[in-house]
Structure 1
Amino acid sequence: MSEESTAFLAIYIITFLIGFPNAVLAFCSCIRKIHRKPLPIDIFMLNLAVSDLFFLTFLPLKMKEAADDMVWNMPHILCHFSDIMFFFPLYLSSLFLTAISAERYVCVAFPVTYKSPKRIIYSTLICVVTWVMFSAFAIFPYKASFLDSDEADNNTNLLSLDAKPQGCCINHTAKQLTELLSVQLSLAVVFFLLPFLICCFCYISLIRILIKCPLFKRQRKLRVTGLIVGTLLVFAISFAPYNASQIVGFIKHEIPNWHMKAFMLNTLNVCFDSIIFFCISKDMRRAIKVSAKALFSFMPI
């Protein structure tokens, strides 16, 4: 196994071990909270947790690919499907993180508006529209992968004569590449750049409000700081490199050599989401403290 494949596998395993229990805890705490007294932030957090669980469900397929040294030894139909299911939740996460940032800003800046009885309906509607909108967008990269499929198959067959093992979605015709790069640019602008700018505006405004208002407790300010740091880590470390590779690829009309390294960082988004869950959810913090105490109780002194 190559060093790159080993690094991929290690990051996938770490992401799964950290992300899955935290996503399950967040999901359960949100369900419990919504059942008791629903708030807009709980609706957005629930959808973020569902998005993370969706991603983690299909992550073992990528683990298998990395364990096979990036050679696709599974049914070919799973190749395109796994790619869609891999990126679908990641872009959804950026939208739900943006919704959380906007909700936190409105909660502090416009407390009267935030207390509107229709806020739960609006939040639910935003989440439904987000799922439907991105589901529609997800069709385009899948469609682009099958343009000139006969020519792509011929290319694959020619490569197979050289007995070279094949990876997933690495052989594209000129038409496929043109279409795919255009779709990737659209995804980068709509689901990364715009959400990132909105998050920056909301959190910069929120910080200014917190600085000017001394009434907020220190613990609340620390949680807000943690929320901002967690969100920025997701965008800066997980989303930015990969989306930058897509923009560069569109400009140069080729997939950059460092595209796969940026792809690897993309998976860490689920780990950083755990920081956001911890800062927002009181039940989440309590559950983690109880779990930590139980773990340390079994450890030898």
Structure 2
Amino acid sequence: MLCIKLLLTVYIVTFLMGVPANILAFCTFCRKVRRRATPIDVLLLNLTISDLILLAFLPFKMKEASDNMAWMMPYPLCPLTGFVFYVTIYNSTLILTAVSVERYLGVAFPLRYSVWRRPRYAVLASVVFWLVTCLNLTIVYIMPYSQWNKGREGYANNGSASNSSAPPPSTCYLNFTEDELSILLPVRLELFLVLFCIPFFICCFCYVNFILILSRLPNISRRRRLRAIGLALGTLVVFAVCFGPYNASHVVGFVHKDSQDWRNVALLSSTFNACLDPFIFYFSSAAVRSMLKCCCRNVMAKLHILKCGSAPQQRPPRLKNT
């Protein structure tokens, strides 16, 4: 029961915080890409889109958690929700990796990289990331339908006249047979190696060298250098903390030949990443900082107008006739 409350709480907080923050970032990057696109703007825009798609399907996960992890909604939503949910999470890891590469190349090879620095390459990379994650996670979409078909076959073998009336599974992508685990566990291990370990090692290499190069540059102010170093370290910490626990469950499950019960709790940090990405946007993009300051000024101005309008107006004192 405590686990269900934790899931529901994190889902609600992520939704309430992530939706307005990512909508603000989306509007900012769309405006900037239309005016003068840069590769990092294209990548951050795709990261924002990925987070917004995850947040759009998060209410289905809330409903699942409120029903004590039973799937009470139309069953076709089960494979679709799981597929989109996991694709957006792993797509975020690849985009964050591309951002680290872009920053490293811009500092390590500024002249050579400026010749090849084109937004269309970032668009191509984003398309490739979506294709790679979708192809690697097709099993998340196929497995629930496979379980339903097996249930129909068993229902027909028990003497039912038509297997079309067989009820769908009561849970969504939670309970698996040994035959299903023999297929699923190696795929999860492959996801851990290809979509987490390799991107994480690339991020570490890029940001460590990024920090070393910045620390040796004399023509950068101390404040700007510290902000860039803090952003690099913060991104690495977010990467490890948000995506590490859930991917570690793949390894533990592969070793124990079972799907671990704490996988849903480990997934919470990956879900909460949709709230943390806007902080990366804030420190990465001056446009996002400017837009946020503009929104804050507008809100404060409206609050000031409402406060002044609600204040009682004092009548001027009457002058006595002399």
TM-score when normalising by structure 2? 0.84
Alignment-mate amino acid for residue 107 of structure 1: G
Contact 2:79–2:140 (8 Å) recurs in 1:
no
- CA deviation after TM superposition for structure 1 residue 149, in Å: 4.6
Using the alignment, how far apart are the partners of 1:78 and 1:92 within structure 2?
21
Distance 1:38 1:218 in 2: 28
Greater alpha carbon shift after TM alignment, 135-144 vs 249-258: 135-144
* 1:237 pairs with 2:236: no
Higher alpha-carbon deviation: 252-261 or 59-68: 252-261
Task: Report the CA distance shift for 1:226/1:61 in structure 2 as closer, same or farther (over 3 A).
Answer: farther
Question: Unmatched 5+ residue regions in structure 2?
Answer: 159-168, 308-322
1:90 correspondence with 2:89? yes
1:43-82 counterparts in 2 under 5 A?
43-82=42-81
- Give, in whole Å, the separation in 1 of the partners of 2:13 and 2:25: 18
Letter in 1 for 2:278: S
Provide the aligned C-alpha RMSD in A.
2.5
AA paired with 1:32? Answer: R
Kindly indicate whether the alpha-carbon contact (under 8 Å) linking 1:30 and 1:46 is maintained by their aligned counterparts in 2.
yes
Q: 1:216 matched to which residue of 2?
A: 220
Structure index of larger Rg? 2
- State the partner residue of 2:193: 189
1:179 counterpart = 2:178: no
Residues 4 and 68, structure 2, Cα contact 8 Å, conserved in 1: yes
Q: CA deviation at 1:140?
A: 2.9
Distance in 1, matches of 2:276 and 2:197, equals 19
Unpaired runs of at least 5, structure 1 = 159-164
How many residue pairs get matched?
Answer: 294
Q: Is the 8 A contact 2:90 2:195 kept in 1?
A: yes
After superposing the two structures, state which structure 1 stretch, 218-227 or 93-102, moved more.
218-227
- Show the counterpart of 2:259: 255
Q: Match for residue 272 of structure 1? A: 276
> Percent identity at matched positions?
41
Q: Are 1:19 and 1:270, in contact at CA under 8 Å, matched by a contact in 2?
A: yes
Which segment drifts farther, 12-21 or 244-253?
Answer: 12-21
C-alpha distance in structure 2 between counterparts of 1:13 and 1:148, whole Å: 29
TM-score computed with the length of structure 1 as normaliser = 0.89
> 1:222 & 1:153 partners in 2: Cα distance?
61
- Aligned mates of 1:296, 1:154 — CA distance in 2: 63
